């Protein structure tokens, strides 16, 4: 177990990996728009919005439940791993039924049957990856968690280069790239677990039922949260054009690169929260991380605001110029949602994701209503404005609720101290170390 390692080392480890992932994602993000064009990009993001939106329900809340049960040692690791085999089978059946119903009722002629089949095949593979990563994260094996994330992006990059850039397979090639990456990494992830734990096929109803009961709360909570992230793409596909979806999706994808730091924090915070015995200290540490993250993200967002006109026209070409305003307009919402991501990591780690879900439920409704009114009028900019309102309202509300639930004054949470930035000296020493 790596529990005795410092926060800075864990976060630096995940963040340094995220930098490589960011670079790989950047390369993929150049190839896809240039090869597909705005409309095909819109189709690609629109069809992926369905599995991304429903992923929490399909996972049945198992991923955060694994982290919680393993971290708190409720059951032996072997029993949890064995129970996951049955749950994966059930999740796969749910996936096939759910996606078949969704795509049938959407009845979009642009969603070719081959696209739908690939999406259905990818999902159980991604579930196997998600469950394996959750188990690794619960044991605070941060390096292996990082390696799995990086491996997936590398495989996806290889697929995109071969299938999209060289063979010119378009959206089909982009989806096949995801299938290739999912297949390879799922095999790797399962092999890592199987190498360290004896997998028993005995059906322990107590373990499986506990995972399902606990997971139901997580599933509904994460679905509400994820709904706020991706409902705009689904509504745009219905209320606008695929070309407009392409402009908006590229803009959001660029702005969401600010998530790389909170993504590193989320993995570490969830893992440490599940294993922490002193929640008072944990709350102070999370508050400190929140202050640091927000300051760094604010600086990065200002730089991105002024740099994005040059970046988009230079990298993606003038055909994606409408994405510039999307990035600039949505940055405030992205900045505020970072607050939500950090605090939600702690609440998830202690088994209380429902707090975040209850907080985010009203903003989701507001987001949907505003999108319905603003997308027909303003297209992608309308969706960006709706996102800003929803994200900001949800983040500020959760900040207040978290303060009361964890019994820490808002002033203490938000008050910057010189000691907050001691990590700079630590990182400097680490980087300059011969």
Q: What confidence tens digit (pLDDT) does each residue in 360-396 have? A: 899 999 999 999 999 999 999 999 999 999 999 999 9
Predicted confidence (pLDDT) at residue 22 exceeds the cutoff of 70: yes
Note the pLDDT tens digit of each residue in 358-367.
Answer: 898 999 999 9
Tokens encoding 289: 């991380």
- Among 190-194, 254-258, 261-265, 315-319, the range with the most confident prediction by mean pLDDT is 315-319
Check: CB of residue 135 under 8 Å from CB of residue 81.
Answer: yes
pLDDT at 200: 66
Average pLDDT estimate for 232-256? 91
Find out whether 330 and 251 touch, Cβ atoms under 8 Å: yes
Instruction: Find the radius of gyration of the CA atoms of the chain.
Output: 21
Tens of pLDDT, residues 101-160: 889 888 889 999 999 999 999 988 988 888 887 777 666 566 676 778 889 999 999 999
Model's pTM, two decimal places?
A: 0.81
Token pair of 87, please?
């749950």
318: which residues sit within 8 A by CB, 6+ positions away? Answer: none
Nearest to 297 by CA among 260, 249, 269: 260
- Contacts from 309-315 at CB under 8 Å and sequence distance 24+? 311/254, 312/250, 312/254, 315/30
Percent of the chain with pLDDT over 70: 82
Q: Identify the band that residue 5 occupies on the pLDDT scale cut at 50, 70 and 90.
A: very low
72 vs 410: CA distance, rounded Å: 29
Give me 103's structure tokens: 């795509």
Q: Which helix (H) or strand (E) holds 174?
A: helix 170-196
| pLDDT single digits (tens) 197-224 | 666 666 677 777 777 777 777 777 777 8
Buried b (16+ CB within 10 A) or exposed e, 52-72: ebbbbbbbbbbbbbbbbbbbe
Return the half-sphere exposure (C-beta side, CA atoms, 13 A cut-off) of residue 287.
23
At residue 72, does pLDDT exceed 80?
no
Tokens 């390692």 locate to 5
Q: What is the pLDDT of residue 374?
A: 96
CA angle 231, 232, 234 (to 5 degrees): 65
Rounded Cα distance between 423 and 434, Å, is 19
Cβ neighbours of residue 409 closer than 8 Å, sequence gap 6 or more:
403
Neighbour-count burial of 318, counting CB atoms closer than 10 A to its CB (0-12 exposed, 13-18 middle, 19+ buried): exposed
65 has a pLDDT exceeding 80: no
Q: Which residues are within 8 A (CB) of 272 and not within 5 positions of it... i.e. 6 or more apart?
A: 3, 7, 10, 140, 282, 349
Burial class (CB in 10 A: 0-12, 13-18, 19+), 84: buried
CA 166 to chain centre: 29
CA 283 to chain centre: 23
Higher pLDDT, 73 or 178: 178
In 3D space, the residue among 211, 198, 188, 187 whose CA is nearest the CA of residue 84 turns out to be 211
Distance CA 434, CA 413 (A): 37
* SS3 state of residue 169: coil
Name the one residue in this structure whose structure tokens are 């929260």. Answer: 273
Distance CA 405, CA 82 (A): 35
274 or 130: which leads in pLDDT: 130
CB 31 within 8 A of CB 161: yes
């Amino acid at each position: 177990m790596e529990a005795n390692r410092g926060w800075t080392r864990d976060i630096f480890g995940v963040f340094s990996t995220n930098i490589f992932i960011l670079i790989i994602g950047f390369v993929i993000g150049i190839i896809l728009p240039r090869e597909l064009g705005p409309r095909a990009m819109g189709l690609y993001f629109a069809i992926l919005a369905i599995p991304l939106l429903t992923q929490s329900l399909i996972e049945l809340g198992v991923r955060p439940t694994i982290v919680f049960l393993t971290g708190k040692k409720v059951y032996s690791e072997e029993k949890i791993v064995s129970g996951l085999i049955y749950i994966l089978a059930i999740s796969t059946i749910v996936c096939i039924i759910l996606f078949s119903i969704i795509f049938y009722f959407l009845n979009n002629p642009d969603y070719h049957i081959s696209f739908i089949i690939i999406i259905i095949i990818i999902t159980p593979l991604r579930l196997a990856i998600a469950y394996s990563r959750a188990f690794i994260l619960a044991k605070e094996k941060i390096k292996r968690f990082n390696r799995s994330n990086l491996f997936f992006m590398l495989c996806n990059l290889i697929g995109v280069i071969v299938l999209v850039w060289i063979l010119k397979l378009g959206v089909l090639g982009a989806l096949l790239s995801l299938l290739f990456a999912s297949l390879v990494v799922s095999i790797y992830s399962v092999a890592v677990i199987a190498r360290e734990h004896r997998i028993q096929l005995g059906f322990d109803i107590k373990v499986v039922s506990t995972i399902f009961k606990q997971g139901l709360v997580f599933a509904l909570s994460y679905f509400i949260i994820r709904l706020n992230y991706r409902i705009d793409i689904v509504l745009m596909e219905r209320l606008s054009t695929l070309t407009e979806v392409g402009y908006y999706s590229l803009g959001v994808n660029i702005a969401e690169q600010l998530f790389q730091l909170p993504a590193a924090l989320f993995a570490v915070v969830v893992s440490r929260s599940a294993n922490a015995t002193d929640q008072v200290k944990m709350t102070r540490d999370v508050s400190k991380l929140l202050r640091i993250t927000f300051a760094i993200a604010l600086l990065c967002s200002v730089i991105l605001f002024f740099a994005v006109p040059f970046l988009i026209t230079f990298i993606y070409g003038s055909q994606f110029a409408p994405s510039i305003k999307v990035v600039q307009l949505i940055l405030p919402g992205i900045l505020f949602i970072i607050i939500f991501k950090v605090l939600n990591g702690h609440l998830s780690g202690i088994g209380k994701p429902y707090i975040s879900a209850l907080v985010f439920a009203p903003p989701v409704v507001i987001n949907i209503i505003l999108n319905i009114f603003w997308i027909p009028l303003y297209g992608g900019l309308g969706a960006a404005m709706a996102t800003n309102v929803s994200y900001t309202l949800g983040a500020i509300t959760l900040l207040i609720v978290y303060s009361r639930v964890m019994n820490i004054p808002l002033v203490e949470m938000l008050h910057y101290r010189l000691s907050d930035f001691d990590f700079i000296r630590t990182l400097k020493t680490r980087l300059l170390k011969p």
